[in-house]
Amino acid sequence: MPHFSATLDGVKPSPTVALTGLVAALKAQGREIISLGAGEPDFPTPQHICEAGKNAIDSGRTRYTAVDGIAELKEAVAAKFARDNDLAYGPEQIIVGTGGKQVLFNALMATLNPGDEVIIPAPYWVSYPDMVRLAGGTPSIVETRVEDGFRISPPQLDAAITSRTKWLIFNAPSNPTGAGYSPDQLKALTDVLERHPNVWILSDDIYEHIAFPGYTFSTPAQVAPALFDRTLTVNGVSKAYAMTGWRIGYAGGPVDLISAMRTIQSQSTTNPSSVSQWAAVEALNGPQDFLASAVTTFLRRRDLVVAGLNAADGVSCPVPDGAFYVYPSIAGCTGKTTAGGTVIETDEDFCSALLEETGVATVFGAAFGVSPNFRISYAASDELLTKAMDRIQDFCAKLA
């Protein structure tokens, strides 16, 4: 065995990614599993986007590209930021990476030194704290309250900022809660940030397009132009266009930061897949009607799942503004024993027993930093969701 790097101290594998592997293994054993674990759209990538990928292969666009992405894709990204977010990024202010995940990782690697703090509102996407640790920084977790709709309040943000704070990671609509911020709510936060000129803002807008009626998406650099020069606006095609496997994410930000991120990428993965980049050009420049139809589908499923969970004994589920997750509390289930004889002490016990006894795969709340809760990704067919709700209600009804 080698001696492993101290960089890995306190870092664990992604629980959401691990669950995908576990579900595959259980299915291979012949078990019938309803997978509501991994967060990815269940639709196929739209045909015109696939065609663009195939054309890239057939026309020999299969070589290394510029590290930060082909010019055509950077132009498409710039046009997207202008069209959707009123943000004017030039080509030097844009980088394309292997998923939003790599873009986030590059940004943290490029900026964090030991002792640097990164404010992460909880519940958070599982990867943020561990990415910060891998990059040598210290996560500073701020727990939001269900009473506040899982939104960080301006006083909470203000109180969390120290002289060591380097970044705020902001993610709305949120994974795992689906919480969004109205432009006014966001402005109240950016007002705080304007008073702290040393804090940078990393806005993860990956769920931008999955926004339900009554909620209007906005992004920090848009509502607070004064923050433009210290904001990295991250986005990608994975969730919006059902392209998780293509691995294309991108960001707009200050030239120096983008250049530092490019250096890291040039020494790690070089460029994102050339074929995927051409598909992403079509995703961003081509017809956008897929987005509205996906929202309609997700809205119907959201309502099905929220109602189904609130009908389960001991479960309480707020209504999300966007994304395709719900994050119900199971406070009414802890301390009880399942039909199979498991005592539920934690949300991990709940999710393990639910998987074992009913075949419904979900992610336990501790992975996202707020308990006792669990996350359901409702990117699954109405039929499967209905079946899953029946099983969860039955599981909860039998708790004693």
Element housing 34 (H / E): strand 34-35
Structure-token pair, residue 302: 């959201």
| 54-73 positions binding ligand GLU, by CB under 6 A | none
Nearer to ligand GLU, 15 or 53 (CB): 15
Rounded distance between C-alpha atoms, residue 219 and residue 212, angstroms: 16
Phi and psi, residue 337, nearest 5°: -115, 135
CB 324 within 8 Å of CB 295: no
The reply to whether 346 sits near ligand GLU by the rule CB under 6 A is no
CB 313 within 8 Å of CB 307: no
The reply to whether 175 sits near ligand GLU by the rule CB under 6 A is yes
Contacts of 354 (CB under 8 A, 6+ apart): 360, 362, 374, 392, 395
| 223-242 positions binding ligand PMP, by CB under 6 A | 236, 238
Residue 38 contact, options ligand GLU, ligand PMP, none, Cβ 5-8 Å cut-off depending on partner type: ligand GLU
The one segment of 33-41, 105-113, 142-150, 309-317 that binds ligand GLU by CB under 6 A: 33-41
CB 353 within 8 Å of CB 360: no
The reply to whether 377 sits near ligand PMP by the rule CB under 6 A is no
Nearer to ligand PMP, 234 or 312 (CB): 234
* Least Å from the CB of residue 273 to ligand GLU: 17
Rounded distance between C-alpha atoms, residue 84 and residue 86, angstroms: 6
Encoded one letter per residue, x for contact with ligand PMP by CB under 6 A and - for no contact, window 302-321 reads --------------------
Encoded one letter per residue, x for contact with ligand GLU by CB under 6 A and - for no contact, window 110-149 reads ---------------xxx----------------------
Rounded distance between C-alpha atoms, residue 246 and residue 273, angstroms: 8
Encoded one letter per residue, x for contact with ligand PMP by CB under 6 A and - for no contact, window 42-81 reads ----------------------------------------
Asked whether the bond before 129 is cis by omega within 30 degrees of 0, the reply is no
CB 211 within 8 Å of CB 322: yes
Element housing 250 (H / E): strand 249-252
The reply to whether 336 sits near ligand PMP by the rule CB under 6 A is no
Nearer to ligand PMP, 101 or 166 (CB): 101
Closest residue to bound ligand GLU by CB:
39
Closest residue to bound ligand PMP by CB:
99
The reply to whether 171 sits near ligand GLU by the rule CB under 6 A is no
Nearer to ligand PMP, 172 or 330 (CB): 172
Encoded one letter per residue, x for contact with ligand PMP by CB under 6 A and - for no contact, window 10-49 reads -----------------------------x----------
Q: How far is CA 335 from CA 313, 332, 343, 349, 375, in A?
A: 13, 9, 7, 11, 20
* Least Å from the CB of residue 178 to ligand PMP: 11
Q: Own/partner pairs for 190-196, CB < 8 Å, 24+ apart?
A: 190/220, 190/223, 190/224, 190/226, 190/227, 191/154, 191/224, 192/154, 192/157, 192/158, 192/161, 193/157, 193/168, 193/220, 193/224, 193/227, 194/224, 194/226, 194/227, 195/158, 196/161, 196/165
Structure-token pair, residue 164: 């060591």
Choose, by CB under 6 A, the member of 39, 69, 253, 328 that binds ligand GLU: 39
Choose, by CB under 6 A, the member of 46, 69, 99, 137 that binds ligand PMP: 99
Contacts to ligand GLU by CB under 6 A: 14, 16-17, 38-40, 125-127, 175
Binding site for ligand PMP (CB under 6 A): 39, 99-101, 125, 171, 175, 204, 206, 236, 238, 244, 249
